[in-house]
Amino acid sequence: MTETMLAAYFTEDNSPLEIRETAIPQPGKGEVLVKMESCGVCHTDVHFWKGEDELPRPKPAILGHEGVGSIVAVGDGVELTAGERVGVGFVYSACGNCRECRKGLETYCQNSQATGVHVDGCFAQYIVAPADWVTHIPGELSSEEACPLLCAGVTAFSAVRKANIEPGSVVVIFGLGGLGQYAIQFAKLFGAKVIGIDLDPKKLETAKRLGAHAAYAPGEEAEKAIHELGGADALLSFAPSPQVFRNMFTLAAPTARFIQVALPNNPFTFKAAELIDLGITIIGSADGTRLERDQVMQLAKDGLVHSNVETMEFSNINEAFRRLDAGEADGRLVVQF
Amino acid sequence: MTETMLAAYFTEDNSPLEIRETAIPQPGKGEVLVKMESCGVCHTDVHFWKGEDELPRPKPAILGHEGVGSIVAVGDGVELTAGERVGVGFVYSACGNCRECRKGLETYCQNSQATGVHVDGCFAQYIVAPADWVTHIPGELSSEEACPLLCAGVTAFSAVRKANIEPGSVVVIFGLGGLGQYAIQFAKLFGAKVIGIDLDPKKLETAKRLGAHAAYAPGEEAEKAIHELGGADALLSFAPSPQVFRNMFTLAAPTARFIQVALPNNPFTFKAAELIDLGITIIGSADGTRLERDQVMQLAKDGLVHSNVETMEFSNINEAFRRLDAGEADGRLVVQF
Amino acid sequence: MTETMLAAYFTEDNSPLEIRETAIPQPGKGEVLVKMESCGVCHTDVHFWKGEDELPRPKPAILGHEGVGSIVAVGDGVELTAGERVGVGFVYSACGNCRECRKGLETYCQNSQATGVHVDGCFAQYIVAPADWVTHIPGELSSEEACPLLCAGVTAFSAVRKANIEPGSVVVIFGLGGLGQYAIQFAKLFGAKVIGIDLDPKKLETAKRLGAHAAYAPGEEAEKAIHELGGADALLSFAPSPQVFRNMFTLAAPTARFIQVALPNNPFTFKAAELIDLGITIIGSADGTRLERDQVMQLAKDGLVHSNVETMEFSNINEAFRRLDAGEADGRLVVQF
Amino acid sequence: MTETMLAAYFTEDNSPLEIRETAIPQPGKGEVLVKMESCGVCHTDVHFWKGEDELPRPKPAILGHEGVGSIVAVGDGVELTAGERVGVGFVYSACGNCRECRKGLETYCQNSQATGVHVDGCFAQYIVAPADWVTHIPGELSSEEACPLLCAGVTAFSAVRKANIEPGSVVVIFGLGGLGQYAIQFAKLFGAKVIGIDLDPKKLETAKRLGAHAAYAPGEEAEKAIHELGGADALLSFAPSPQVFRNMFTLAAPTARFIQVALPNNPFTFKAAELIDLGITIIGSADGTRLERDQVMQLAKDGLVHSNVETMEFSNINEAFRRLDAGEADGRLVVQF
Ligand SMILES: [Zn+2]
Ligand SMILES: [Zn+2]
Ligand SMILES: [Zn+2]
Ligand SMILES: [Zn+2]
Ligand SMILES: [Zn+2]
Ligand SMILES: [Zn+2]
Ligand SMILES: [Zn+2]
Ligand SMILES: [Zn+2]
């Protein structure tokens, strides 16, 4: 193993990441060293880079939390072995022992760390990660396909799981980009009749190709069609607009569930009567558990969920950031090492 | 049976109800005739009477939906018999057959009728009601105690049931009037550690007497105490103020449930991040099902829930309305025939 | 409307049903008169006919509980109209008001009646049924396809719903005849990875055609394959053999659910340790609710579940009984009027 | 700290445990050293000692899995500190990372170890245990009270949690010894109406004192009383007799849940129709999770569950084993160091 590696350092808001040589980290007890093969670029990375979110540690820092590669070394007490392919997702580690962890709410662990946020991330040729927190990648999946599943995929899956869908449920999905496209596929796997809503006509076509029963721009046509189906049993928002939240009330069937994933800054408003008259349930959802990561990988392995991925060279990572920020990416962008 | 009865007619907004003589209605197929013994006066009645809510039928009209009395005649096909004591609550009837009814969501039936709202109510010496929709009143309960259970009691019970409480859960109840007092008792029956919040010091004392672990005015002391317990697992609002909704976010543990029952007119606001960071669930709740009415009556019969009732003569019904409107009622007011 | 109709009378155990002329029944209040178009023949009919189950009313009697036809007349208080196509399934009526009905457990109503069992059934040109209990048949479905869905289809669907399946769950289905074939399709709609088990090699092929991941005869190969998948999360038995119950323990993952639908006469045995060591849950399931009937019809309308139906003339009903009893029917037999 | 300790060694089936001097173990990374204050004696210990269950490791071996004491030393990476009082229960450790652990089913972890079974247990003055797996003991609880809660208490609590109890549910508890007495108290905390069943008249009195609505010997009187309540919604068996399983079917309401905890060797039998006609659910339950241990300690701290404990000197441990085996213990026996 060479003793240095290349890593992309975030040094200053909005400045190009700098690819530098640095020492390869070494795995401690319970840790593995992973040689990265590919890593997805996520809006979360871009938000930090643009200074829209503040990184809770000093720069320079390595971002990236959708990394897939092979184990090349392991610390003491690790049962995984060199050669196994694993993913490193957004939650880098949780304590396994606090009240939230004991409740199975590991994503709410008060002692958890996020990859690229609290510790160096996957935009580097090597990363050390806790053996208990890496995700097994089935052999049938390419590394680049697996990357966005670790973050966008599992976030969409967790949201859909919270929606209490059963075969025949009418499910409306707002925002048909990366997460929304995953959500369509997952909702279909639960047997739902899926309606997609987006302003972009191209995305409406994509939604139908992915199995949506119908797809509409927001407006009267959508409303009429959904009312004819008896209203929506579940509504999931991946579109960062408070207006979408208002539209949910218009389309809901009694006791509908709203699952909120998008994070617009502008506040949401509603009146108590809107909530109570229909017995609405509103749920906030983010990320997913290790179990959900495993489930997503199994579904992808079985060919039941597909990723729309475009690959770029690691050396072009700044171009990847630029394109994602400019909305010039059609699918998920993944850099390859 | 005499052929006429006395009934209190709502004739004009804010004018005294007029007690008039009118024909006793006759039960049709599947209906029972109930001779009223007592009927609770509810804020909903007062809202209609003051014109704050609009009655969906012409006046003069008989209000009242917390009535208890004895069956004196039955129509064809009814298995109940004269002499049985029954209650007539807010939902007068649902169709039993629409999509919502088939889902067990009878309180969201699109063909349902509300007592006193769509049909004449219980502020009369007799009422006809569907046999399938009256509630059996156990012999151990007095009629006046049973009255408020039919509306306030079952509304509080249904809200508490939606809160996913188990023994040891920390439950915060905002608003310690009639509904809140019931909610304390029910949450205790689920094993909760209950914290009451209200501005009125007298109600804080009542809450503790009813079994609350602690009771506070809104503010820092409450916040500190609840955080020391690890945050609230469930928060129920019976206080008609949007500020209470804001306070819920301050007190919530991860994945807390907010149950909204109070109906302030001013809108609620929140940011998506507040919902998502803690994985909050917000649920609207109103009224309850026939099953929940039966459950509440059983719990009251077994001495597990108590009502704070003040009785007045039916002839004083206008004084009851005035006192309820003026906030001069300590517990629930019930008129007796 | 003619005033008489033909009906197939069960007169004596094992004697041919007698097709006789009789008066067309008239719908009372809340009832509809349905002109039958087709009716499925079910093992339950054959069991009564052979005297293996005892009919709780005197003979001659009309059997049949998978009937589909068009409404030709309605009684008072019915909102359905002539011309609508409806199905009459096994539960003819429930009271809507007893404790079980109020709990939403209408199939356990203590006052319920079964079609063909407690009242005359659908092997007749006309039947009267309660308007609240007939099932709407979507225009996209043929009557003969709809028939077996009313009994076999809804029974399989209700069983699958109880299995807590989510995408990727490993579900083993024992017995791949009519119900098992429906169960495969429904489990797939919940996203399951389905394994079929049957002794008949032809049925194993059918199972795979219907979407099963794999299908095996009982034995070591099946066991090995299911263990490689991590064990079964849910196991459903439509095979009337106590041995199948024993096999479930061999194939189960921790906290697996066993759903028992088949009704062998021989007793089942197990040891407490078998149940406790893996935290197994065993659930008995029969029939389904009106809501489940509606769900099944929607799924069939959307082309998501298919029936394997063979039609015969009503005049050949005795041949249908003979073939079903002899195991000579490949799919579900439906007589046409 | 002294360098040797006393420990009770199980050397041969049915021979007295030998109290010997041995080296105090040292805590490794992630471990704590606990100085025992008291440890409960459990039937599981006696079964091993009598050779009825086989210990999966060589003798001499230290049994005991209901130990409470204070931390006196900690290994690397441990946040607990010397002086904290903790409990060591039956599950000594689980891996936190296998499929079952990721599902939150830590008690089914394929890599778990049991205290006293796979590793030396608590019948010693000191024990080393994983920091993540010890249970915090609130200051309000005495060590001897806490001991049986770690095993008998949490087993009863987990069983009651699986019973889907809500206020007013009718819950029948078979076997009113240690576990059954805890189960009565926990079921009451969920709001249940509890009926106790036992052959021993003294235990029936104890059950009523602990809050049971009624308590009966098995037989017609019990049956009549439970049927008058509408049948049992949940039935829990802590009595090691297959006959109890048969009795459950006699007493069940539709869709009742049977929770099986007792482990008789004789097989259980039932017919499919018994399960299906009432829609019964049968669930196996053992032990509980760390979360459930924490919940039980909180409930005990709040005075909501009480233990019936008799203390003995550690030097008398063989007398404790004898008495437990002979059925001469009234409550739970706890040895003190
Ligand atoms: Zn991401
Ligand atoms: Zn944690
Ligand atoms: Zn309805
Ligand atoms: Zn009211
Ligand atoms: Zn059938
Ligand atoms: Zn009923
Ligand atoms: Zn034990
Ligand atoms: Zn594990």
Q: What is B89-135 written as a DSSP string?
A: -SEEE--S-SHHHHTT-GGG-TT-EEBTTTB--SSBSEEEEEGGG-E
Distance CA A308, CA A292 (A): 20
CB–CB contact B276 A270 (8 Å): no
Residues D242 and D255 in one domain: yes
Residues A119 and A192 in one domain: no
Probe site for chain D from B298, B301, B305 (most D CB atoms < 10 A)? B298
Distance CA A139, CA A85 (A): 8
CB–CB contact B295 D168 (8 Å): yes
Distance CA A184, CA A234 (A): 12
Residues A244 and A116 in one domain: no
Q: What is the total residue count of chain D?
A: 337
**A252 at B interface, C-beta within 8 A:** no
Question: How far is the alpha carbon of C104 from chain B, nearest alpha carbon, in Å?
Answer: 6
Residues A33 and A146 in one domain: yes
Distance CA D228, CA A115 (A): 60
Residues B145 and B54 in one domain: yes
Question: How far is the alpha carbon of B273 from chain A, nearest alpha carbon, in Å?
Answer: 6
- CB D269: neighbour CB atoms within 10 A? 15
Q: What is A77-114 written as a DSSP string?
A: T----TT-EEEE-SEEE--S-SHHHHTT-GGG-TT-EE
Residues A265 and A305 in one domain: no
**DSSP bridge partners of A4:** A23
Distance CA D302, CA D300 (A): 5
Residue B157 lies in a domain: no
- Report yes or no: B299 and B182 within 8 Å, Cβ to Cβ: no
Contacts of C99 in chain B (CB under 8 A): 294
Distance CA A223, CA B227 (A): 43
**C280 at D interface, C-beta within 8 A:** yes
Q: How many CB pairs under 8 A join B and D?
A: 38
The pLDDT value given to residue A331: 82
Closest ligand, as measured to the CA of A105:
2
- The gap from C-alpha B277 to its chain's centroid, in whole angstroms, comes to 33
- What is the three-state SS of D180-214? HHHHHHHHHHCCCEEEEECCCHHHHHHHHHCCCCE
Ion ligand 2 residues within 5 Å by Cβ: A 94-95, 98, 101, 109
The Cα-based distances of D295 to A101, D105, D298, D300, D320 in angstroms read 14, 17, 5, 9, 28
Of C99, C104, C294, the CB nearest to B104: C104
Q: Which of C241, C263, C284 is the last residue of a domain?
A: C284
**D284 at C interface, C-beta within 8 A:** yes
Residue A158 lies in a domain: no
Question: How far is the alpha carbon of D118 from chain A, nearest alpha carbon, in Å?
Answer: 19
Residues A96 and A38 in one domain: yes
> Of A315, A337, A316, A307, which is closest to residue A34 (Cα–Cα)?
A337
Residues D275 and D304 in one domain: no
Distance CA B172, CA B235 (A): 5
Probe site for chain B from D295, D296, D301 (most B CB atoms < 10 A)? D295
- Report yes or no: B159 and B259 within 8 Å, Cβ to Cβ: yes
| Torsional class of D222: left (φ above 0), alpha (ψ -120 to 50), beta (otherwise) | alpha
Residues 287-306 of A with CB under 8 A from D: 289-291, 294
The Cα-based distances of A288 to A150, A172, A258, D102 in angstroms read 9, 21, 17, 12
pLDDT in tens, C37-85: 999 999 999 999 999 999 999 999 999 999 999 999 999 989 999 999 9
The pLDDT value given to residue A9: 98
Gap from CA of A258 to ligand 2 centroid (Å) = 27
Question: How far is the alpha carbon of A186 from chain C, nearest alpha carbon, in Å?
Answer: 8
Task: CATH number of the domain at C20, please.
Answer: 3.90.180.10
Q: Are strands B193-197 and B170-174 parallel, antiparallel or unpaired?
A: parallel
The number of folded domains in chain D is 2
The pLDDT value given to residue B170: 98
Matching residue, tokens 């079929």: C196
Q: Which two tokens stand for residue D277?
A: 């006609």
Contacts of B264 in chain A (CB under 8 A): 272
- The gap from C-alpha D203 to its chain's centroid, in whole angstroms, comes to 18
**A335 at D interface, C-beta within 8 A:** no
Matching residue, tokens 């109930």: B34
> What interface predicted TM-score (ipTM) does this complex get?
0.95
> Of B321, A153, A281, which is closest to residue C167 (Cα–Cα)?
A153
Q: Which of A284, A305, A324 is the last residue of a domain?
A: A284
**C193 at A interface, C-beta within 8 A:** yes
Express as a percent the part of chain A with pLDDT over 70.
99
Contacts of D29 in chain A (CB under 8 A): 29
Q: What is the total residue count of chain B?
A: 337
Contacts of D92 (CB under 8 A, 6+ apart): D65, D112, D113, D114, D115, D118, D119, D129, D130, D133
Question: How far is the alpha carbon of C268 from chain D, nearest alpha carbon, in Å?
Answer: 5
Contacts of D230 in chain C (CB under 8 A): 99
Residues A127 and A40 in one domain: yes
pLDDT in tens, A89-118: 999 999 988 999 999 899 999 899 999 999
Domain range holding C173? 163-284
- Report yes or no: C256 and C234 within 8 Å, Cβ to Cβ: yes
Distance CA B142, CA B174 (A): 29
Residue D188 lies in a domain: yes
CB–CB contact D291 A132 (8 Å): no
CB–CB contact B97 C132 (8 Å): yes
CB-count exposure of residue A60 (10 Å: 0-12, 13-18, 19+): middle
DSSP, res A315: G
The nearest alpha carbon in chain A to C213 belongs to: A302
DSSP, res B231: S
Question: How far is the alpha carbon of D123 from chain C, nearest alpha carbon, in Å?
Answer: 25
Matching residue, tokens 């302003």: A199
The nearest alpha carbon in chain B to D296 belongs to: B168
Residues D167 and D237 in one domain: yes
The pLDDT value given to residue D110: 86
**A105 at D interface, C-beta within 8 A:** no
Contacts of B283 in chain A (CB under 8 A): 275, 279-282
Average pLDDT of chain A to the nearest whole number: 96
CB–CB contact A168 C193 (8 Å): no
CB–CB contact C283 D285 (8 Å): no
3-state secondary structure of C44: helix
Residues D119 and D218 in one domain: no
Given a cut of 50, the residues of chain C with pLDDT beneath it are 1
Residue B158 lies in a domain: no
CB–CB contact A277 B255 (8 Å): no
Q: Which of B248, B268, B284 is the last residue of a domain?
A: B284
Q: What are chain B's partners, defined as 3 or more CB pairs within 8 angstroms? A: A, C, D
CB-count exposure of residue D54 (10 Å: 0-12, 13-18, 19+): exposed
Contacts of D264 in chain C (CB under 8 A): 272
pLDDT in tens, A129-171: 999 999 999 999 999 999 999 999 999 999 999 999 999 999 9
Distance CA D214, CA D196 (A): 6
Ion ligand 5 residues within 5 Å by Cβ: C 42, 44, 151
A323: pLDDT strictly greater than 80: yes
The pLDDT value given to residue D328: 87
Residue C320 lies in a domain: yes
Q: How many CB pairs under 8 A join A and C?
A: 38
Q: How many CB pairs under 8 A join A and D?
A: 23
CB–CB contact D102 A294 (8 Å): yes
Given a cut of 70, the residues of chain D with pLDDT beneath it are 1-2
Give alpha helix (H) positions in chain B. 43-49, 99-102, 143-148, 154-161, 178-189, 201-209, 220-228, 242-251, 272-277, 290-301, 317-325
Helix (H) or strand (E) holding D48: helix D43-49
pLDDT by position in tens, chain B (length 337): 459 999 999 999 999 999 999 999 999 999 999 999 999 999 999 999 999 999 999 999 999 999 999 999 999 989 999 999 999 999 999 998 899 999 989 999 989 999 999 999 999 999 999 999 999 999 999 999 999 999 999 999 999 999 999 999 999 999 999 999 999 999 999 999 999 999 999 999 999 999 999 999 999 999 999 999 999 999 999 999 889 999 999 999 999 999 999 999 999 999 999 999 999 999 999 999 999 999 999 999 999 999 999 999 999 999 999 999 998 887 899 999 9
> Of C21, C9, C22, which is closest to residue C58 (Cα–Cα)?
C9
> Of A69, A121, A129, which is closest to residue A94 (Cα–Cα)?
A129
Q: What is A154-195 written as a DSSP string?
A: HHHHHHHHTT---TT-EEEEE--SHHHHHHHHHHHHTT-EEE
pLDDT in tens, A229-283: 999 999 999 999 889 999 999 999 999 999 999 999 999 999 999 999 999 999 9
- CB D76: neighbour CB atoms within 10 A? 10
Gap from CA of C24 to ligand 5 centroid (Å) = 24
Gap from CA of A280 to ligand 3 centroid (Å) = 18
Question: How far is the alpha carbon of C13 from chain D, nearest alpha carbon, in Å?
Answer: 23
Matching residue, tokens 């009255």: B147
Closest ligand, as measured to the CA of B107:
3
Gap from CA of D103 to ligand 8 centroid (Å) = 9
CB-count exposure of residue B83 (10 Å: 0-12, 13-18, 19+): exposed
Residue A99 lies in a domain: yes
**DSSP bridge partners of C232:** C252
Residue D157 lies in a domain: no
Residues 131-170 of D with CB under 8 A from B: 161, 166-168
Output phi, psi for D180, to 5 deg.
Answer: -60, -35
3-state secondary structure of D315: helix
CB-count exposure of residue A99 (10 Å: 0-12, 13-18, 19+): middle
Gap from CA of B106 to ligand 3 centroid (Å) = 6
Contacts of D190 in chain B (CB under 8 A): 166-167, 190-191
Task: CATH number of the domain at A252, please.
Answer: 3.40.50.720
- CB D26: neighbour CB atoms within 10 A? 11
Residues B82 and B206 in one domain: no
The nearest alpha carbon in chain A to C297 belongs to: A168
